[in-house]
Amino acid sequence: MATTAREVSAIVATPFTNTPLTDFSNQENIRAQEEALRTVAAGFGKTYPLIIAGERRMTGETFASTNPANPSQTLAIFAKAGVAEANEAVEAAHKRFKTWQYTPAEERAGYLFAAAQKMRERRFQFNAIEVYEVGKSWVEADADVAEAIDFLEFYGREALRLAEKQPITPFPGEENALLYIPLGVGAIIPPWNFPGAIMIGLTSAALVAGNTVVLKPASAAPWIAATFVDLLEEVGVPAGVVSFTPGSGETMGDALTLHPLTRFISFTGSREVGLRINEMAAKPQPGQIWVKRAVLEMGGKDAIVVDETADLDAAATAIVASAFGFQGQKCSACSRAIIVDSVYDQVVEKVVERARTLSVGDPSERATYMGPVVDASAQRKILDYITVGKEEGKLLLGGEKLERDGYFIPPTIFGEIAPNARLAQEEIFGPVLACIRAKDFDDALAIANNTEFGLTGSLYSRDRERLARAQREFHVGNLYFNRKSTGAMVGAHPFGGFNMSGTDSKAGGRDYLLLFTQAKAVSEKIS
């Protein structure tokens, strides 16, 4: 059931803190995760229907979620939505919005707090689903689920803050107020790489702000989305507030974006798809009475810059963690290591040395650091870029797929990549690192900015003037000093990028819910 008013008050009376990661050196936690993996595996093959206006239904087509570490293994079966179902879902959500928009913020936030508590109780189950469905290691899956819990907690609190009386300038003879009201129906189109955190963050932010949601999960990760939608129903989110419509990304994405009753589209994914959504959303459809809002996060070509004053061991460790965590399948992953000439050879040697020790294998095994890439298409794309890399630079590590079942590619490192090479410019989304030699710090900073993206970046330096200069000139939405480029924390690191990395949404920050609301000024003349 939803959190009570008294419980909501108790929650917000304490400051928000990030959910601690699970200690997998603890034997009790190890046993709990192993048991969850067995329990989840015992449920393989379940069929999940669409959910539209609270009604569960099958369609004429289905598709399967499979294990990228064992592609012949079917995890779950899903009813496949098409254009007709997309249109019906939007229209049903629009009808439901007419009443949901007036639900008090305290009640809406209560649903998120209750969902967060359920996820804490079932954390190992959610971890296990991610391990099987997208090939995350135990540690990566656990961090993703922790972030999802943080989003629920943080956005619940933010909805309450926006519902408070807002500060405005007094004006004689009037009573004035500023209200944040919801937009309407939102099309939620999350990615597969953070199938818990981003999917739950996009969905919960929209609904807690008072909107109704049509969730089109990533085709490679519908299982965890279905599990979360069931959890929302369990905690009492009213029928019709969230519809669940898995299906083809292009077919469903286009239909949801183009429908005249869709008020906003919240998308995380590739640059190409994001720009297509932006273009379609900008063109008004017959019967449309608003300018649609597109909230887009579209990837990056992120760099870690290392100068000659840096702690070289720390820099090398961060490069490896940022480049190869979750097989490099993060929009924040370090795909370029830009190192000044005087320490280039030393740093590259340290990076290769550390990457060589990373274990690659079945992510359901606790010792595995890197699992498979998500599917056959991703594997082909990454291998094509590796072929390009062999022509553009010097292969230092890896470079071939592993000959075993599953879509496995080991950590791959290229040296002496030119700043304008394809490997230095195009998003690969896999475990491939381009090492680039810079003449000096000025050159390194210029190379770092020499890309159409602008999501994350890191600088390793002990020079305070250079850190200050990078703060001004390193053009990314999330800039880190002397730490890795991945691992943004809700509340501490509002996340979103510049240029072709998207609309700089700043997920997990105090501005984020504003994207799902509109401000209404109300003034009354008084005698």
> Distances in Å between the alpha carbon of 154 and those of 1, 147, 193, 496?
19, 10, 21, 17
| Candidate list 130, 153, 158, 297, residue with the active-site label | 297
Of all helices (H) and strands (E), which one includes residue 178? strand 174-182
Q: Which structure tokens are listed for 206?
A: 């929209």
Active site residue 297: yes
Any bridge partners for residue 456, and if so which? 478
Q: Which structure tokens are listed for 494?
A: 């509002």
Type of residue at 503:
T
Phi, psi of 18 (to 5 degrees): -70, 145
d(CA 437, CA 443): 9
Q: What are the percentages of helix, strand and coil residues in the chain, rounded to 5?
A: 40, 20, 35
CB atoms within 10 A of CB 6: 8
Report which of 499, 492, 460 is spatially closest to residue 477, judged by C-alpha positions: 499
d(CA 59, CA 47): 12
Active site residue 331: yes
Assess contact for 374 and 220: CB atoms under 8 A: yes
| Candidate list 331, 334, 392, 435, residue with the active-site label | 331
3-state SS class at 407: coil
Cα angle value 288/294/299 (rounded, 5°): 155
d(CA 514, CA 503): 13
Assess contact for 6 and 111: CB atoms under 8 A: no
Assess contact for 2 and 117: CB atoms under 8 A: no
Assess contact for 78 and 215: CB atoms under 8 A: no
Assess contact for 407 and 372: CB atoms under 8 A: yes
Rg (CA), the chain: 23
Report which of 449, 427, 423, 426 is spatially closest to residue 436, judged by C-alpha positions: 423
Any bridge partners for residue 297, and if so which? 268, 502
CB-based contacts of 188, cutoff 8 Å, min separation 6? 199, 202, 203, 206, 213, 214, 215, 216, 266
Place of tokens 């909805």: 159
d(CA 163, CA 180): 7
Place of tokens 């760099």: 303
> Distances in Å between the alpha carbon of 470 and those of 205, 311, 476?
32, 17, 10
d(CA 477, CA 366): 34
**Residue 287 burial (C-beta neighbours within 10 Å; 0-12, 13-18, 19+):** exposed
Residues involved in catalysis: 297, 331
